[in-house]
């Protein structure tokens, strides 16, 4: 496994565009081909992708309410179970505790005026300002992470 990079990936400044997840993965900006959170529960999260996968996520430009992972039916995409604070969710919580920078990538399928028209775009570094657990629209508990753009 390549070493984790917290912060910008050399050669890919904010605004860098990627045609698809494979290209995004090869760049190192966000390595997983499917998962929305890249990181480790023991080291922290290095990047997230906003791709419209979770109904409760909100994108306000310089602030994002990012819904954690888990509890979705893989066929329908509907939330069918509670989320737990493990794996990627734990990585984001650790990033909050350590104030680690997180690369935010927006995908064209994200229902947001800040999403690119096509593909994926790296939109810079954010930090986890807060996180909490509450019931989402579907009635199941989910983890929410308030990501705030870093001034650098």
> pLDDT truncated to tens, each residue of the chain (152 aa)?
567 889 999 999 999 999 999 999 999 999 999 999 999 999 999 999 998 877 788 999 999 999 999 998 888 878 899 999 999 999 999 999 999 999 999 999 888 999 999 999 999 999 999 999 999 988 999 999 999 999 87
Please tell me whether residue 53 adopts helix, strand or coil conformation.
Answer: coil
What totals of helices (H) and strands (E) does the chain contain, helices first?
Answer: 2, 8
In this structure, are strands 102-107 and 44-50 parallel, antiparallel, or unpaired? parallel
Which one-letter DSSP state was computed for residue 92?
A: H
| Under 8 Å between Cβ of 119 and 106 | no
The pTM (predicted TM-score) of the whole model is: 0.93
């Amino acid at each position: 496994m390549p070493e984790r990079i917290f912060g910008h990936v050399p050669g890919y400044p904010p605004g860098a565009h990627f045609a698809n997840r494979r290209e995004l993965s090869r760049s190192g900006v966000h390595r997983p081909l499917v998962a929305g959170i890249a990181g480790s529960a023991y080291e922290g999260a290095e990047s997230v992708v906003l791709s419209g996968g979770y109904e409760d996520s909100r994108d306000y430009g310089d602030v994002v309410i990012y819904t954690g992972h888990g509890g979705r039916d893989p066929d329908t995409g509907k939330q069918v179970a509670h989320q737990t604070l493990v794996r990627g969710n734990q990585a984001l919580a650790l990033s909050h505790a350590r104030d680690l920078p997180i690369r935010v990538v927006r995908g064209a399928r994200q229902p947001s005026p800040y999403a690119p028209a096509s593909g994926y775009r790296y939109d810079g570094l954010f930090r986890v300002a807060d996180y909490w657990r509450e019931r989402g629209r579907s009635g199941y508990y989910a983890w929410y992470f308030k990501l705030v753009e870093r001034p650098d």
